[in-house]
Chain A
Amino acid sequence: MRRFFLRRIGQVIGTVFGVVTLIFFLQRLTGDPTYLLVPETATQADIDAMRAALGFDRPLFVQYLAFLKQIASFDLGRSVIQNIPVWDIIASRLPYTLQLAGGALLVACGLGIPVGVVLALYRDHPASRLLASIVLAAQSMPTFWSGIILIMIFAVTLGWLPPSSTGGIEHLIMPSLALGLLSMATFARITRTSLLDELSKDYVRTARSRGVPMTLLLRRHLARNASIPVITVAALEISNLLAGAVIVETVFAWPGLGQVTVQSILARDFLVVQGIVILGAFVTVALNLAADLLYSAVDPRIRLDGTRR
């Protein structure tokens, strides 16, 4: 357990270091990153001043070390446009994105898992096939379109829900649905596959032949055993939901991190974009680690020395 944990932490540190390095070099794809940080109307003198102020005139390796040091001290720099630390911008927007991702996760699990169970238990039923087609359709639906369709139906035509912006829980319903539907398909699929896997095992056959009712079997044994892949997917899906928020937030004018990312690109406020991307990567890495650890908590059969089962 301890060895596994240490090795995994080592990997995480390596990946985080890699991400920071990658972003450093991405910034320099076009040569001089100064141009990413100045308004389009800046004069040459402004650009030169900015370059010197940010140290972009130093040798690349020196800049790289400085960048590593800056990120290591959790400093994401300052927004050029708003002139406040990037962290402050993130802190003010993060709660909205978390709300949205939470709502979407609720939609995705709340719909996806039961659908997956039905798909597995009634595999050959025609209704189940119809349900499978609906799942596939949901997966093929661009979030920005499903969002717009939702607005047209529930806000414009029926007038039941507010079309955009924030407020009470009613503001959260449509964005969560639009974002959650995409992940719903993933949950349905993985639940189905995992449950089918479990259903084919000997203990299920034995229990069934002894007359154990399916509902009891499902509750007592299958739910726990089949939940392992679902948990892993959940951790990965959370990071997908956070990333997907970029588009959904724009559709619904939801003031979260996604909206500020897009606004910052259009306003050429590069450090804000960079800060959010770094944060997104860190969260993803952390979630992957959490999935690995949860894995063993749910299923003690998995030994944490790297070998499974």
Chain B
Amino acid sequence: MTSAAVSASPRRKSRVRLSLARWAPIALIIAFILAAIFAPLIAPYDPNAQNLLGRMKSPGTLSRSFHYLLGSDELGRDLLSRLIYGARVSLFVAFSSVILSGVVGVLVGMLAGYLRGLVEVIIMRLVDVFLSIPAILLAIITVAVLGPGLMNVIVVLALTRWPRYARIAYGQTLSVANMPFVRLAAFMGASAPRILLRHILPNIIGAVTVVATLEFGLMVLFEAGLSFLGLGVQPPTASWGAMLSSGRNYLATAWWIATFPGLCLFLLVLAVNLIGDDLRDRFDPRSH
């Protein structure tokens, strides 16, 4: 449908784009990951240590033995330390749910695309059903059944998101499965698992990676959203969404409590989306 002229130009442009624009998001994500891994070493204080005399102190305040670089929250806990530990929750939930839903979705989608027949009908109809329930609502009703908590949030997100991967893996498998090298492999007696893993998977992994990257940003937002609603990670564990939620009550008196967790979320998701966009341009210049 599109002529090559249209698709080629933004692609070329993205190649000459300042390398800073490409590396800045990667550097930012690495910084978040390092902060999450080394949280106990970096964080100035215990994220749950309360200092009731130092409640809602503005950024830069000294109170007793605490020096609040980014201020303190309503219980006198150091905001910076909580933000650093909050990165752990965000990244852990996003990584785990993306991997879990990705593995399940890709496997199921490949099976549907390769085996066809009844398997295809059942799996793809199931995918349609899952995708016809708005993701947030599906996540919410599942949390309502399972109850909140870190592990449950991961399960809920994986359960909600696998159809996205299944659909893309299915579509890609359909086009790859008919290629001569796959047919030849089958003709030479390669088993179905071998064909799927050795021949089809390497050819569809690019498209799956693009989806997974964009999903990663979405999962960060979902976790924060669920925690914001009180349905995700439970207090006192530091989660950016939950911090935002409690900061909401002190907007007039302590703006920093809600502002900094939101900023962290925004930067992380923006960085992930920038990388996702970049990958999408490379793998599929049309959908720029």
At the interface, yes or no: B20 with Cβ under 8 Å from chain A?
no
Is B2 in contact with A200, judged by CB distance below 8 angstroms?
yes
CB nearest neighbor in B for A197? B2
Binds A, one of B43-51, B78-86, B267-275: B267-275
Q: Is B146 an interface residue (CB 8 A)?
A: yes
Chain B residues contacting A19 (CB-CB under 8 Å) are 129, 132-133
Query: In residues 241-266 of chain B, which contact A (Cβ within 8 Å)?
Result: 241, 244-245, 247-248, 251-252, 255, 258-259, 262, 265-266
**9 A-B pairs closest in CB distance:** A145-B262, A243-B134, A18-B129, A140-B270, A140-B269, A200-B6, A281-B133, A243-B136, A277-B141
Kindly list chain A residues whose C-beta atoms are within 8 Å of the C-beta of B266: 137, 140-142, 145
B217 at interface, CB cutoff 8 A: yes
A250 touches B229 (CB 8 A): yes
Complex Cα–Cα for A18 and B143 (A): 20
CB-based contact A239/B273 at 8 Å: no
Question: What total of chain A residues lie within 8 Å of the partner, measured CB to CB?
Answer: 59
Contact with B along A189-213 (1 / 0, CB 8 A): 0000100110110000000000000
Known: A246-B229, A247-B228. Contact between A148 and B251, CB under 8 A?
yes
Instruction: State which residues 113-162 of B face A: CB under 8 Å.
Output: 125-126, 128-130, 132-138, 140-146
Residues of A near B288 (CB, < 8 A) are 193
Q: Is the CB of A22 within 8 A of B6?
A: no
Q: Does A86 contact B (CB under 8 A)?
A: no
8 A Cβ contacts from B4-63 to A: 5-6, 9-10, 13
Assembled-state Cα–Cα distance A284/B217 (Å): 23
CA A240 to CA B134, docked complex, whole Å? 7
Is A174 located at the chain interface by the 8 A CB criterion? Answer: no
With contact pairs A142-B265, A273-B140 given, residues A30 and B146 touching in the complex (Cβ less than 8 Å): yes
- B134–A148 touching, CB < 8 Å: no
25 chain-A/chain-B pairs, Cβ below 8 angstroms: A15-B125, A15-B128, A18-B129, A18-B132, A26-B142, A29-B146, A36-B144, A144-B225, A144-B228, A148-B244, A148-B248, A148-B251, A152-B255, A196-B6, A197-B1, A197-B2, A243-B134, A243-B135, A247-B225, A250-B228, A265-B231, A277-B137, A280-B133, A284-B132, A285-B132
Least distance between A230 CB and chain B CB atoms (Å) = 15
> In whole angstroms, how far apart are the Cα atoms of A58 and B96 in the complex?
37
Q: Is the CB of A276 within 8 A of B137?
A: yes
In chain A, positions 258-280 with a C-beta closer than 8 Å to chain B are 261-262, 265-266, 270, 273-274, 276-277, 280
Chain B interface residue number, banded: 35 or more
| Contact partners of B265 in chain A: CB under 8 A | 142, 145
Interface status of A136 (Cβ within 8 A of chain B): yes
- B272 to A, closest residue via Cβ: A140
Of chain A, the residue at the smallest CB distance from B141 is A277
A142 touches which of B125, B133, B269 (Cβ 8 Å): B269
- Apart from A11-B128, A156-B255, what are 12 other A-B pairs with CB-CB below 8 Å? A26-B142, A26-B145, A36-B145, A151-B251, A243-B137, A247-B225, A250-B228, A251-B248, A262-B140, A276-B137, A280-B133, A281-B132
Looking at the complex, which one of B128, B133, B273 makes contact with A140 (CB distance below 8 Å)? Answer: B273
Q: Is B224 an interface residue (CB 8 A)?
A: yes
A124–B12 alpha-carbon span in the complex (Å): 12
Interface check A14, CB cutoff 8 A: yes
Residue B230 CB within 8 A of the other chain: yes
Assess the A270–B262 pair: CB atoms within 8 A: no
B137 and A280 contacting across the interface, CB-CB below 8 Å: yes
Contact A136 B274 (CB under 8 A): yes
Instruction: Give the nearest-CB partner of B9 in chain A.
Output: A123
Write the A139-155 contact mask toward B (1 if CB under 8 angstroms, else 0): 11111110011011000
The minimal Cβ–Cβ distance linking B89 to chain A, given in whole angstroms, is 15
- B237 nearest CB across to chain A (Å): 18
B252 x A142 contact (CB < 8 A): no
- The answer to the question of B177 belonging to the interface, with a C-beta cut-off of 8 Å to chain A, is no
Chain A residues with CB below 8 A from B140, complex form: 246, 261-262, 265, 273, 277
Q: How far does the alpha carbon of A141 sit from the alpha carbon of B273 in the complex, in Å?
A: 11
CA distance A143 to B228 in the complex (A): 11
Q: Which residue of B lies closest to A265 (CB)?
A: B144
A242 at the interface (CB under 8 A from B): yes
Counting CB contacts under 8 A, is A297 at the interface? no
User: Does A284 contact B144, Cβ atoms closer than 8 Å?
Assistant: no
Give every chain B residue within 8 A of A149 (Cβ-Cβ): 259, 262
Expressed in whole angstroms, the minimum distance between the Cβ of B176 and any Cβ of chain A is 23
